[in-house]
């Protein structure tokens, strides 16, 4: 089989299939002869040649990586790093040049923590993890990435789904904890999926469907990540339908061959080489091309019902909803219609900050009624936002005024405060939390 991504191509052959329970792995071997010397993150950290730390000031979706080696450093899509203020995964594969420090795009995989575990140097920097993001998380990330949509909330939701399916709850919602909870299952499966001589990639099948394809430039590079990749599929194979693989060779070959017929986008490239994103009817993927060679190519089946959850869209879009009449119970003599307008503007603000909430069924928005005048601050949590809205109704100069504060608790600086009247919604403070 040949795979062509823009002007780069690679010929692959299938090695003997490996099967266990509801997982089938088809090892792949390529004809690539690239001899490029590339340092892995794990080895770079072990040798003290690489440092990974938080930005200053810290931000959830960016970290700083320093490569002090004389060879390029590869950061692989989905590879996890642990420690610092919270665990993260690399958003897309990149090559960092020798003797270079770069800001790197990441996603959080531990949304319940935003602090160092201590104050020693080892507790404020990142370490290599034994895991990739699970395959389902990588595939929702790949789909959102191709569509130029926010990945972070989709990653958090995918991790929550893992916990739900596994009937397990991490104290900090850390994906790493979910992996550690199934070590016995991992070890058992790894015995059945050994890396083969010359192997440079694999096709992964769970419950009778191709979930993903992963290719590296050479065997040396692939074997550094083999166990992590296998584990990323093992965790998504547990507590499922447990369907055996009945796919024909022709069906599998068609899925792989169709990669070459994908729509391709040039991604923003940092570091060495060229980053590409591609998509077809079956799935989405990416490729890092360097010196004409495909260095790394992950590809995943389309994620079902993926919703992009960008917390910070530019425009406020009109909202179609019904506001129930407010009963005439106010004794202050103020106009009840003012509260209807305030409520409408408040709902617009909620959907501005959390547009994904439009997709929820039976999502009940908060009512703004005169009773709030006699209450302490009210709290309205928004599922998937990892935060919500605190609000309080008061009277200023004979008019109703609603003061709101909203934030995503794992996104530093995400806090915004608004002053809402019948006439406008004004941002009065931001950058807190």
- Mean predicted confidence (pLDDT) in 105-124: 85
- pLDDT category at 72 given cuts 50, 70, 90 is very high
Tracing tokens 């040798």 back to the chain, one arrives at 47
Helix 135-146 to helix 152-166 angle (10° resolution) is 160
336 CB neighbour count, 10 Å cutoff: 15
What pLDDT is attached to residue 122?
Answer: 72
* pLDDT tens-digit series, residues 326-356: 444 344 567 778 999 999 999 999 998 888 7
pLDDT value of position 332: 52
Q: How far is CA 34 from CA 156, 219, 277, 302, in A?
A: 36, 10, 22, 30
- State whether 249 and 366 are in the same domain: no
Q: Would you state the pLDDT for residue 410?
A: 65
Where residue 228 falls among pLDDT bands split at 50, 70, 90?
Answer: very high
Residues 288 and 348 in one domain: no
pLDDT in tens, 400-426: 999 999 988 767 788 899 999 999 999
Longest dimension (CA), the chain: 83
58-68: pLDDT as tens digits: 888 999 999 99
Question: 143-193 pLDDT, tens per residue?
Answer: 999 988 888 888 999 999 999 999 999 999 999 999 999 999 999 999 999
Question: Last residue of some domain: 284, 301, 318?
Answer: 301
Model pLDDT, residue 328: 43
* Same-domain pairing of 146 and 47: yes
Same domain? 14 vs 157? yes
Q: Give me the residues paired with residue 271 across strands.
A: 95
Same domain, 378 and 262: no
Residue 314 lies in a domain: no
User: Exposed, middle or buried, 5 (CB in 10 Å: 0-12/13-18/19+)?
Assistant: buried
Confirm whether 411 is domain-assigned. yes
| Percent of the chain clearing pLDDT 90 (strictly above) | 68
Confidence of residue 230 (pLDDT cuts 50, 70, 90): very high
Same domain flag for 394 and 280: no
Q: What length does the chain have?
A: 433
426 plus 284 within the same structural domain: no
Q: Please state which of the ranges 14-28, 142-156, 351-365, 395-409 shows the lowest mean pLDDT.
A: 351-365
CA nearest 370: which of 397, 390, 343? 343
Q: What is the pLDDT of residue 374?
A: 66
Report yes or no on whether pTM surpasses 0.85: no
Residues 62, 162 share a domain: yes
200 prior amide bond cis, ω within 30? no
65 and 202 share one domain: yes
Question: Which residue's structure tokens are 């420690």?
Answer: 83
Q: How does DSSP assign 360-426, residue by residue?
A: -TT-PPPP--GGGGGS--EEEEETTTTEEEEEEEEEETTEEEEEEEEEETTSTT-EEEEEE-SS-EE
In a domain, 318, yes or no: no
The count of domains in the chain is 2
Q: Vertex 212, ends 211 and 213: CA angle to 5°?
A: 155
**Domain presence at residue 310:** no
Residue 151 CA to its chain's centroid (Å) = 5
Checking if the pLDDT of 119 tops 80, the result is no
- pLDDT single digits (tens) 271-323: 999 999 999 999 999 999 999 999 999 999 997 643 333 333 333 333 443 44
316 lies in some domain: no
Q: What is the C-alpha to C-alpha distance for residues 30 and 203, in angstroms, rounded to an integer?
A: 13
Neighbour count for residue 390 (Cβ, 10 Å)? 15
The residue among 359 and 312 whose pLDDT is bigger is 359
The confidence band for 118, taking pLDDT boundaries of 50, 70 and 90, is: confident
Query: Which of 301, 320, 351 is the endpoint of a domain?
Result: 301
**Rg of the Cα atoms in the chain:** 25
Tell me what pLDDT residue 51 has. 96
pLDDT of residue 320: 42
Identify whether 391 is part of a domain: yes
Q: What is the mean pLDDT of residues 359-363?
A: 77
Residue 243 lies in a domain: yes
Does the pLDDT of residue 209 top 80, yes or no?
Answer: yes
Asked if residue 420 is part of any domain, the answer here is yes
Task: Map residue 133 onto helix, strand or coil.
Answer: coil
360 and 269 in a common domain: no
Of the candidates 301, 326, 355, which is a domain's last residue? 301
pLDDT of residue 242: 87
pLDDT of residue 307: 35
Look at residue 127 and tell me whether its pLDDT is greater than 50. Answer: yes
Say what percent of the chain tops pLDDT 70.
92
Tell me: do 34 and 145 sit in the same domain. yes
Q: Say yes or no: 24 and 142 in one domain.
A: yes
Q: What tokens appear for 273 in the block?
A: 């080489």
The whole-number pLDDT of residue 259 equals 96
Which of 30-39, 174-183, 216-225 shows the lowest mean pLDDT across its residues?
30-39
Decide if pLDDT at 232 tops 90. Answer: yes
* Residue-number span of the structural domain to which 383 is assigned: 336-432
CB burial string 346-375: b at 16+ within 10 A, e below: bbbbbbbbbbbbeeeeeeeebebbbebeee
């Amino acid at each position: 089989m040949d795979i062509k991504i823009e002007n780069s191509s690679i010929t692959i052959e299938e090695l003997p299939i490996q099967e266990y329970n509801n997982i089938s792995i088809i090892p792949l071997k390529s004809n690539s002869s690239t001899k490029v010397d590339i340092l892995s993150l794990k080895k770079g950290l072990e040798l003290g040649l690489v440092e990974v730390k938080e930005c200053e000031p810290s931000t959830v979706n960016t970290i700083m990586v320093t490569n002090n080696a004389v060879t390029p450093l590869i950061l692989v899509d989905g590879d996890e790093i642990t420690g610092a203020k919270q665990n993260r995964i690399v958003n897309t594969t990149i090559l960092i040049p020798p003797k270079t420090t770069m800001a790197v795009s990441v996603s959080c995989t531990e949304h319940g923590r935003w602090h160092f575990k201590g104050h020693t140097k080892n507790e404020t920097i990142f370490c290599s993890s034994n895991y990739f993001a699970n395959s389902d998380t990588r595939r929702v990330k790949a789909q959102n990435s191709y569509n130029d949509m926010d990945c972070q909330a989709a990653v958090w939701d995918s991790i929550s789904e893992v916990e739900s399916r596994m009937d397990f709850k991490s104290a900090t919602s850390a994906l790493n904890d979910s992996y550690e909870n199934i070590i016995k299952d991992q070890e058992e499966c790894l015995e059945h999926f050994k890396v083969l001589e010359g192997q440079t990639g694999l096709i992964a099948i769970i419950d009778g469907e191709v979930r993903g394809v992963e290719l590296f430039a050479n065997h040396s590079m692939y074997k550094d990540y083999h166990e992590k990749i296998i584990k990323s599929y093992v965790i998504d194979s547990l507590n499922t339908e447990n369907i055996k693989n009945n796919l024909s060779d022709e069906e599998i070959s068609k899925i792989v061959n169709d990669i070459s017929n994908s729509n391709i986008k040039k991604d923003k490239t940092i570091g060495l080489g060229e980053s590409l994103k591609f998509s077809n009817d079956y799935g989405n993927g990416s490729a890092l091309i360097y010196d004409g060679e495909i260095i790394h190519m992950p590809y995943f089946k389309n994620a079902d019902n993926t919703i992009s959850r960008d917390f910070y869209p530019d425009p406020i879009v009109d909202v179609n909803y019904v506001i129930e009449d407010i009963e005439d119970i106010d004794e202050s003599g103020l106009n009840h219609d003012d509260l209807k307008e305030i409520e409408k503007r408040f709902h617009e603000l909620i959907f501005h900050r959390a547009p994904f909430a439009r997709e929820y069924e039976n999502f009940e928005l908060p009512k703004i009624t005169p009773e709030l005048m006699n209450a302490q601050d009210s709290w309205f949590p928004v599922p998937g936002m990892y935060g919500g809205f605190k609000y309080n109704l008061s009277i200023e100069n004979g008019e109703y005024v609603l003061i709101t504060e909203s934030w995503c608790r794992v996104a530093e600086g995400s806090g915004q405060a608004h002053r809402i009247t019948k006439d406008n919604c004004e941002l009065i403070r931001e950058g807190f939390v």
